[in-house]
Each structure stands twice: as C-alpha cells, then as structure tokens.
Amino acid sequence: MGSQLKILGTTVSTQEEAKALAEEGAPEGTLVIAEEQTGGKGRMGRKWFSPYGKGIWMSLVLRPEQPLHYTPQLTLLTGVAVCRAVRKVTGVMAGLKWPNDLLVDGRKICGILLESAAEDEHVRYCIAGIGISANLDPGDYPEELTGIGTSLKIEAGEPIDRMSLIATVMEEFEMLYELYRKDGFQPVASLWEALSVTLGKRVSIQTARGPIEGMADGLDASGALRVRTDSGEQIPVFSGDVELRR
Ligand code: BTN
C-alpha cells in the first residue's frame, strides 16, 4: 500500500486523480495525496471543504476480487483503519458513525468516500477517498460547518504530524485488508462494532425508500446496519444518512 505515491499541491479532487491513474492501470495500493482540493467531493453529491495544508486529503486505488455488492464493506474497513490510526497517533478517541464518518463528541473529523468502477458485478477498481480534518483551526471553518465539524488539532490541543498519521493509516489499512482477504468480513466487522458510536443508539435514517427510526443493533454479514424498529422488525439499511438520537 502506498508503494506508488503521487503528491500534489492544489488539485480539483484526489478522487479524480486516482481514477485517472486507475484507468491507466495503476496497481492496487496507489495513493494520491493533495495539500488542497478545489472541488473536494463528499457523499451524496456534497462538497468537501479541503483548505491548503490543513488536512489529509487522499485517495487510494483498490482492486478487490469480490463482486460489486461487497464493496460497502471496504468503506467500513477504511473507517476502522483511520479510527485506529487516529487513536494511536493523536490519542484522540474518535468513534465510527455508520457508514463512514469519524466523530469526536458528536462532531465530524473525517469522512470516507468509496467509489467503484464496475461492469455488472465485476469490480475494475475502487477508490477509497479519505478526508481528515487534521490541523484546521476554529476560524478556518465556513459558517455552515461551524459546530458540525472539528479537527484533530482542536481536539488534541496541538498540531498533528500529518505524515506520521498518513503512514499509520496506511499500515492499519494494509493489516486490515490482509485480514479481510484471508478471513472475510467478520473480523473487520467486529473491530468496527467495537469502535462504533452508532450501535446501541436510537437512530433516524433517511433512505431512498423513506425514513427509518429505531435502535442500531449491529452490522449484518454484508456490512448493512441492522435497525430494530419499535414494532420489533429488524431492517437492514444499506445506505443513507444516519442521525444519532440519544
Ligand atoms: C463524506 O463524508 O461525505 C466523504 C468525504 C470524503 C472526502 C475525501 S478528501 C479526499 C478524497 N477526495 C475527494 O474529493 N473526496 C475524498
């Protein structure tokens, strides 16, 4: 992982850079890092605030062998890798919110965007995009993000060594990816559950099929969130925006 590395100053989005490299045949583990993104992308068509030199904005090329419907598991795996690395390098006790956010006291410090290029069920490549708000100061946030986002620097009370955090994220990713390839999703799912701030909470989720409310009970074998509604029905949620109620 990271054996092929492209480091950029300002770019539109490391996702687009990594996709172009993947289309040219870049091997699994190719990593693109930028100091700044002018068109950083979040989930569901949102923008991702990526100011110069303040964060870790990077995208990793993956070439998984499993069919397309397994790729959401890689989002969860990436979250576990980042969460473990953040705790190790900074001591900030971040937790995972399903499917892809890292939170500290309810505020977001990292988002993950997994995009796949596939023909039917055959995955040509995936791009795991990781955005970590490492060294943002309170005054850096635009108004709409005030109170929603925080940074590792704010939480740790000191600047973060971005290079050592990137190296540790890659080490953790490599270890988990090996485990995943050898033993499947279950061990990764258990690690995810142990780092989760979603499970055992009441959640309300906006899904494409309408809102769902209930208790977040765990992950199913595919990585979907198991939600128990008040009528006792267990619903697997495959995608959506989760709001933690209490
Ligand atoms: C989200 O929480 O909505 C996902 C955010 C993902 C942001 C990262 S930053 C590096 C990579 N390049 C992008 O344009 N997006 C991802």
- 148 by Cβ neighbours in 10 Å (0-12 / 13-18 / 19+) ranks as exposed
Cis peptide leading into residue 51 (ω within 30°): no
State pTM to two decimals.
0.94
Centroid of ligand 1 to alpha carbon of 127 (angstroms): 10
Query: Residue 25: its pLDDT value, please?
Result: 94
Taken as a whole, the chain contains a residue count of 246
Residue 236 · residue 226 · CB < 8 Å = yes
Say yes or no: CB of residue 43 within 6 Å of ligand 1: yes
Query: Residue 216: its pLDDT value, please?
Result: 93
**Structure letter (DSSP) for residue 223:** S
How many Cβ atoms are within 10 Å of 200's Cβ, its own excluded? Answer: 11
> What is the layout of strands, in order, in the sheet containing 234-237?
234-237, 225-228, 210-219, 202-207, 241-244
End-to-end CA distance of the chain: 38
Query: CB neighbours of 240 closer than 8 A, spacing ≥ 6?
Result: 205, 206, 207, 208, 212
- The pairing of strands 225-228 and 234-237 is antiparallel
Query: Residue 174: its pLDDT value, please?
Result: 96
Q: Which residue type is seen at 17?
A: E
Q: Fold identical between 5-195 and 202-244?
A: no
The per-residue pLDDT string of the chain (246 residues; one tens digit each, 9 = 90 and over) reads 877 999 999 999 999 999 999 999 999 999 999 999 999 999 888 899 999 999 999 999 999 988 888 889 999 999 999 999 999 999 999 999 998 899 999 999 999 999 999 888 898 999 999 999 999 998 888 887 777 889 999 999 999 999 999 999 999 999 999 999 999 999 999 999 999 998 988 999 887 778 889 999 999 988 999 999 888 889 898 888 888 876
Q: Which residue type is seen at 62?
A: L
Return the residue matching tokens 């390839």.
181
Say yes or no: CB of residue 14 within 6 Å of ligand 1: yes
Query: Residue 246: its pLDDT value, please?
Result: 62
Residue to substitute in 32, 36, 48, 145 for testing ligand 1 pocket (most ligand atoms within 8 angstroms of CB): 48
- The closest of 10, 48, 6 to 29, measured between CA atoms, is 6
Say yes or no: CB of residue 48 within 6 Å of ligand 1: yes
> Which atom belonging to ligand 1 lies closest to the Cα atom of 58?
10
> Residue 10 to residues 7, 41, 133: CA-CA distances in angstroms?
10, 14, 16
DSSP three-state, residue 72: helix
Tell me the Ramachandran region of residue 147: left when phi exceeds 0, alpha when psi lies from -120 to 50, beta otherwise: left
Which class is domain 202-244?
A: mainly beta
Ordered by start, the domain boundaries in the chain are: 5-195, 202-244
Radius of gyration of the chain (CA): 17
Please tell us whether the domain made up of 5-195 is placed in CATH 1.20.1340.10. no
Residue 165 · residue 89 · CB < 8 Å = yes
